[in-house]
Amino acid sequence: MKREEAKVIKPTEATIDEPRKEQEVTRNTFIAKGHATGVLPNTHLWLVIEADDHVWPKERELHVLPDGSWESTVYEDGRTKRFALAVYSADPQAEKFINDWLEDGKRTEGKYKAIGGIPGTERLARVDDLRPKPK
């Protein structure tokens, strides 16, 4: 008789390959690239700017390709001199919170409310000390 093996579910993992720590990035828009594995159907991946004890989810959920790679244009025109870029996993409630927050910001012509954290999320990867290029 064959013994049934239990399925081991690997946790979601992610990396940010570009930009790199302490890199200067183009002001307003830059490209971020990375990889993710173990993304379950109810898990949503988002790029998030972390600065001054606040988090700022970016415009759209990350789409992970079959080879595990992802790429996204990041729009960032904040006024901080240094910031971090992170990949967050979000459960369905956090996904709704993020989408509602983004819609509120669009309705107020880009006046996004500062948020201290997003319940139902977990930071999977982070790149510190990014700097916008001088104008």
| Contact present, 120 and 97 (Cβ < 8 Å) | yes
Q: How confident is the model at residue 104 (pLDDT cuts 50, 70, 90)?
A: very high
> From residue 38, how far is each of 10, 11, 108 by CA, in Å?
6, 6, 36
Q: Which of 43, 39, 44 is nearest to 9 (CA)?
A: 39
More confident site: 2 or 74? 74
pLDDT tens, residue by residue, 12-31: 999 999 999 999 998 789 99
The Cα–Cα gap between 98 and 18 comes to 23
| pLDDT tops 80 at residue 10 | no
pTM listed for this prediction: 0.89
Domains of the chain and any CATH numbers: 13-130 (2.60.40)
pLDDT tens, residue by residue, 33-87: 999 999 988 899 999 999 999 999 998 899 999 999 999 999 987 778 899 999 9
